[in-house]
Amino acid sequence: MNRHIAAFLLAPLIVPLLMGAIALPLLRDVPCLYALGLVMAAAVSYVGAALAGAPAYAALRSVRCTAFWIAPVVGFVFGVIAAIGFSAVLPAVLQSGALRSILAMLPDISEVIVTCNVQIQSTTIIASPSFELIGPGLLGALVGTVLWLIGRPDRP
């Protein structure tokens, strides 16, 4: 397998793995919410890597801008952008019921997730970006770093 493809398949797995490890002690009693969080973390991570990471990777590689420090910086920026987009879209998706119908198509996990009712308390986008966006930014930086270490864009 090409190392660039392997990088884009493996690096985004960091987000659901870390989110799962962090959320397990907190959501041990609510398995449906835990499973929903893992599915959403994986979806956002892979969509972000495909829509933002792959074009940035190709563009930076084509202009030979492949220094190691660029990967965490670009990953941090894309992590913040993904968090803002996710917080803007999620309330509308949950209220519309679209997520329930999408998850109903999944054979194994749908029975667990569809029975979990998620109540939306606020539909506001992240209010103070200086604090709430550090976590997603750090996750994005970690994904960018792992992507660089696996893909090694500085090598032919």
| Domain range annotation of the chain | 3-151
Angle at 135 between CA 118 and CA 44, to 5 degrees: 55
Who's near 76: CB < 8 A, 6+ residues apart?
137, 138, 140, 141, 144
Predicted model pTM: 0.76
Q: pLDDT digit of tens for each residue in the chain (156 aa)?
A: 698 899 999 999 999 999 889 888 888 777 777 887 888 899 989 998 999 999 999 999 899 888 999 999 999 999 999 888 888 887 777 777 776 666 665 555 544 444 555 554 544 545 555 678 888 999 999 999 999 999 888 777
